Amino acid sequence: MKVGYLRHTGVEHKKSDTQLAVLQHAGCDTFFVDDVQSNGAKLKSAVSSLNSGDTFVIAKFDRLGKTIKGVVDLLNELAARSITFVAVEDAVDTSTTEGRNLVHVMARLALMDKALRNERTKASLAIAKTKGRTGGRPPSLSQEKLDEAKKLIDGGMPVRAVAKIVGSSQATLYRVLGAKAVG
């Protein structure tokens, strides 16, 4: 069985008509149509409807997913279930050696993309660190309030009372001041 899938955004009705014509010409028996509101639900339905030996047909790769990794994961899932994948306008057919090789190349590109993103993130964090910026949540207590809390606790005031005065929780004071807060 050949299952066709097409996806369009709200303003692309002409493109979806073109996609439908391509899928009909490819001999699809069933069609699944995703739009902006369905958020990929029909793609999931289409893939779950496929059985071993079926063919999953799309007009072009750009209709299949938002990321290379997402497309590669889907293609790997189809291959594991012995389902052929065809992208008509891109001339990709995983029943051929060339089509299977393209999937492997895409998998390598997905890995490279992930590595490049990680590299860029680490470089950006290093640059931010040299400029004195750190990630994460800002401290809940200013240095002034922290100094005040230390002074009050060292003076014998209970942590509960100090927490109310500085506008913090007891847990924050214990965490920030450590063993000193026990007094």
Question: Which CATH number covers residue 86?
Answer: 3.40.50.1390
Per-residue confidence (pLDDT) for residue 112, from 0 to 100: 87
- Residue 121 inside a domain? The answer is no
- Residue 134 inside a domain? The answer is no
- Residue 55 inside a domain? The answer is yes
The answer to whether the Cα torsion of 90, 93, 98, 103 is positive or negative is positive
33: left (phi over 0), alpha (psi -120 to 50) or beta: beta
Per-residue confidence (pLDDT) for residue 18, from 0 to 100: 83
- Asked if 12 and 62 sit in the same domain, the reply is yes
- Asked if 84 and 152 sit in the same domain, the reply is no
- Residue 133 inside a domain? The answer is no
- Asked if 90 and 161 sit in the same domain, the reply is no
Q: Mind listing the pLDDT tens digit of every residue in the chain (183 residues)?
A: 999 998 876 655 555 678 888 899 999 989 998 877 777 788 899 999 999 999 999 988 777 777 778 888 888 899 999 999 999 888 889 999 988 888 888 878 878 888 898 999 999 999 988 988 877 888 888 889 999 999 998 888 999 999 999 999 999 888 888 755 554
Domain extent, residue 154, equals 143-182
Gap between the Cα atoms of 19 and 121, Å rounded: 37
Per-residue confidence (pLDDT) for residue 9, from 0 to 100: 63
The answer to whether the Cα torsion of 129, 133, 135, 137 is positive or negative is positive
Per-residue confidence (pLDDT) for residue 141, from 0 to 100: 86
- Asked if 84 and 161 sit in the same domain, the reply is no
- Asked if 94 and 36 sit in the same domain, the reply is yes
- For 151-160, the CB contacts below 8 A with 24+ separation are 153/177, 153/180, 153/181, 153/183, 154/180, 154/183, 156/183
Q: Out of 67, 84, 109, pick the residue that ends a domain.
A: 109
Q: Does the predicted TM-score (pTM) go above 0.85?
A: no
Domain count, the chain: 2
- Residue 42 inside a domain? The answer is yes
Per-residue confidence (pLDDT) for residue 77, from 0 to 100: 92
- Residue 171 inside a domain? The answer is yes
- Asked if 86 and 172 sit in the same domain, the reply is no
Gap between the Cα atoms of 115 and 118, Å rounded: 5
- Asked if 94 and 148 sit in the same domain, the reply is no
Gap between the Cα atoms of 169 and 9, Å rounded: 49
- Asked if 33 and 76 sit in the same domain, the reply is yes
Per-residue confidence (pLDDT) for residue 179, from 0 to 100: 54
- Residue 12 inside a domain? The answer is yes
Q: Are 59 and 87 a contacting pair, CB within 8 Å?
A: yes
- Residue 165 inside a domain? The answer is yes
Strands ordered across the beta sheet of 84-87:
30-34, 2-7, 55-58, 84-87, 92-93
- Asked if 84 and 171 sit in the same domain, the reply is no
